[in-house]
Every structure is written in structure tokens, then in C-alpha cells.
Amino acid sequence: MHARLHVIGVIREVFARYGFEPLETPAFERVETLTGKYGDEGEKLIFRILERGEGGQQGKADLALRYDLTVPLARVIAQNAALPMPFKRYQVQPVWRADRPQKGRFREFYQCDADIVGINSRVADAECLAVASDALRALGFTGFELKLNHRKLLSAIVAAAGAADREGEVLVAVDKLDKIGIEGVSNELIARGFDDAVVARLWEILAAPGDLAAVEAAVGEAAAAPAAELRQVLAHAAAMGAQNVAFDATLARGLGYYTGPVFEAVITDGGVGSVSGGGRYDGLVGMFSGRSVPAVGISLGLERLLVVMEERGMLPGAVTRTRVLVTRFAHELDGASLEVATALRAAGVEAECWLGEPGALGKQFKYAAGRGIPFAVVLGPDEVAAGVVALKDLRDSQQRAVPLAELAAAVRG
């Protein structure tokens, strides 16, 4: 939990630095709020909650655990039309998916989202990339890549390959490219009944997936508008200092509600796939409110980040935030020990007072060392009489006398 709270704190600090405000939503939503938003593959992973009473006995569900944080945000926006726009919110909460648990993939996991609602701007799109870049760097990552694509460019690619009427199926397969490779995607498309010529044309268009000009030329006029938007996003992201942002024509975010630029962050050699994703979803709020409200956002997956950070030794080593154990020398000196512990806390130092029987200082030191507490304070009769404490550094066993007035500063130092 200390590691989790550390990572969450770093990410929240970055979100706040960009002007995002905190928001929380309930763990569950009405089932109709969530269904029809994530595509066929995502629909299968929603945890439904049975109705109470007779309906539940018949297998009917009226509620569901949230699948992500974006659809609940859209519902909140639709129900609060008076919110000042653009509205920038961040949210750090768990979501649930009926998935098969494996490395970096869980049925319950935390998402750390930042979204900008109410403005259709390529600067807003680029800010999402900059936020993700800053968050990853603040956590200590240097080897990461932020991939960028456009939902309308993907549609144009599929149409140019001759499969416009089955776009969703193509994108579901292409979204698995990093997991099963070109051969695996090709086999899946053929198994779904796509003609060999369609598959061959698709890979012809995607021959140089990182070259926006080449992909635009291969697709033709339909690619001009989304390609121009992508160039704007790339330029704005660079101006904001976002690092390692690159166009990738094969990036096909699986969720069905994206309408514009889409993003994904991958830790190089992380072994857990994407750790962040997002994009523009201008039609989602309108599904609830009947009015057009543009929106864009980015999400970082806490558990996947923690997996990589733990493997690489990037997490803080401390097992506790407590800095000082104030020992108890004898019952008659309890008042002095409690006053010292209280004074340390008032000075902003995390201090714990020994709760067991007083005396047996070796046992108290062993307890503190086992907890990872770096300092212990001893107040015997001599120290109390002199107005000092014995401050023991449990990491090297060095001990020195410190005036009470200087104790908090000595511990911080």
C-alpha cells in the first residue's frame, strides 16, 4: 500500500499541476449506462449485478460494476449541464472486468484518468499526451513510447482495404497486433471470412506504420483531414515537452466510443503491454444528454505500472512512513514519552509511541527495526532531568543526546 499510495500521489500531483480537479463516481452504474459503449469484446467483460427479488432469481440484471471511468464521467456531465466548460477532471478509482487474470491483467484494477470535456481542440488532445509523458517521467520512467493515431484515419484505412462494411471486426483484430503479430492478425481476419485480397491490401497500406505521409498517400484523400489533425497534435505535444510521441497507424484502441485522436503508452521492454491509453470521444456524452459535448482523456493503469516498477526496483524501499519510535523507559516516565511523541507529531514528524510494557529497550529497538522505522528516542531519568533525549539511529546504531527543542529538526536532517 505504501508503494501504491506513492505512485498514486505522484500521478495526482501531475494531474493537479495541469489544472485537473478530482472527482469520484459510484462503483456501479445502471446496466444500460454501460452497455453499448465498449464494442462486442468489451461487452462480454462487464460484471452485471442481479436485480433484487424475483428478477434476480430469473437472472435479470439492472446494475453493473463500472468497466472504466470514462462512461461514468460522461453520465455525470450529462446530468450536470451547468458545469463550466472546459471541465477538467481527474479520477483515481478501481474498475472491474470479467477478464482472465494474468501478468499485468486483473479483474479489479485502478485507473488514473484525466479528461477534458467541453472543447474540441487539438491542444487538449496534445495536453493528454503531455500529462501522460510527465506522469511517466515523474515516476522514474525514461524508456517509454507514446503512440498516436486517429480513429477516422483507421476508418479510412479499413475502407481503402475494401472492408468498410466490417470496420469493427478489422479493428478488433488489428488491436491484437502487438500480442499475436501480423500472421496472427491475418489468420484471424481470414477465419472471420475476409478475402485474401483485403488482408493483403491492409498490410500494403500499413507497410510503414510509423510514416504518416506514407500511410496518407496509400489511403488517399480520405486520410487528409485526420492526418492534418495528427500533425497538429504532434506539434502541440512537442511544444508542451511531451517525450517519445510517435505516430503508429496500427494503433487501434479497442473501445467503441473513440471519434478522433487515440493514444497509448508502452513501457519499453516492460513485458505487460500498454500502461496508458485514451483518446477523443466526442459522441459519448451525447448518448446520455442528446447534446453534442466534445471530450478527450487519458488513463494510466496503476497495477501495470506497479508490476513494471517492482520488477525494476523503482518503488520506494520504505515499509512505513513512521520516522521515530518513542520508547517507554518506565511507567513513571510515561508522561515524558507521550509528550515527546505528541510534540513530534505537532511538528509534522510521523512518530509512534511504544504501546507494550515499558523497559526492555532491546525489544523496542527490534520492533522499530523490523517495521523499518529509522529512529528511536529514549527518555531515561538522566535525559528527562537534563531536558534532552537520546536519539538512536537504528540503521547504524549511533546514538547522541539532542535537546528537546531540536529533536524534530534532527530527525528530519
**Predicted local distance difference test score (pLDDT) of residue 40:** 78
Architecture of the domain made up of 2-152+244-311: 2-Layer Sandwich (3.30)
Domains 2-152+244-311 and 324-412 share a fold: no
Quote the pLDDT of residue 271: 67
Whether pTM > 0.85 for this model: the answer is yes
Q: What is the mean pLDDT of each run of 10 residues along the chain (413 residues)?
A: 94 98 96 87 90 88 95 94 94 95 86 97 98 97 94 95 91 87 93 93 95 96 97 98 95 82 89 87 90 94 92 86 96 96 96 96 96 95 95 94 95 90
Cα angle for residues 249, 295, 70 (degrees, 5° grid): 90
Specify the pLDDT at position 254. Answer: 61
Condensed to tens digits (0 to 9), the pLDDT of residues 303-329 reads 999 989 998 999 987 778 999 999 999
At the topology level of CATH, where does 324-412 sit? Rossmann fold (3.40.50)
Q: Look up residue 45 and give its three cell numbers.
A: 467483460
Within 10 angstroms of residue 184's Cβ, the number of other Cβ atoms is 13
At 149-206, the pLDDT tens digits run 999 999 999 999 999 999 988 988 998 888 899 999 999 999 999 999 999 999 999 9
Grid cell at residue 265? 503508452
Predicted local confidence at residue 255, as pLDDT: 62
Quick check: 317 and 332 in contact, CB under 8 A? no
Chain-centroid distance, C-alpha 108: 13
Query: What residues does each domain of the chain span?
Result: 2-152+244-311, 324-412
Alpha-helical (H) ranges within 139-295 are: 151-160, 167-174, 177-191, 196-205, 212-219, 224-239, 286-289
